């Protein structure tokens, strides 16, 4: 089975061990989230379709909170 969001794998692999709270998004040319495009993308299973979608409408992660970094639990720290 092909990865649904291969364009994120390389960048995520560069991060240290962490836990984020956030959203997976696909943005249009004006920077607005396209939820229907994200839904369609998540349902894709053919590698060629996924690769085309990754090029024409790449996904991104919008992180809201860093909950853990390596072995440190950050949830109880003040903002």
Entry field: residues in the chain: 79
Using the predicted structure, report yes or no on whether residue 1 has a pLDDT greater than 80. no
Q: Beta-strand (E) ranges in 1-79?
A: 18-26, 59-69, 72-73
Rounded to whole angstroms, the Cα distance separating 41 from 53 reads 7
pTM for this one?
0.79
Q: Where are the domains of the chain?
A: 6-69
Q: Which residues pair with 23 in a beta bridge?
A: 62
Q: In what order do the strands lie in the sheet with 72-73?
A: 18-26, 59-69, 72-73
Instruction: State pLDDT tens for residues 24-47.
Output: 999 999 999 999 999 999 999 999
Closest by CA position to 17, among listed 68, 74, 63? 68
The rounded mean pLDDT for the chain is 93
């Amino acid at each position: 089975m092909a990865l649904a969001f291969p364009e994120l794998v390389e960048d995520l692999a560069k991060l240290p061990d962490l836990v984020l709270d956030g959203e997976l998004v696909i943005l249009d040319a004006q920077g607005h989230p396209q939820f229907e495009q994200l839904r369609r993308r998540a349902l894709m299973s053919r590698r060629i379709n996924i690769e085309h979608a990754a090029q024409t409408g790449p996904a991104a992660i919008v992180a809201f909170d860093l909950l853990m970094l390596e072995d440190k639990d950050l949830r109880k720290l003040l903002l």
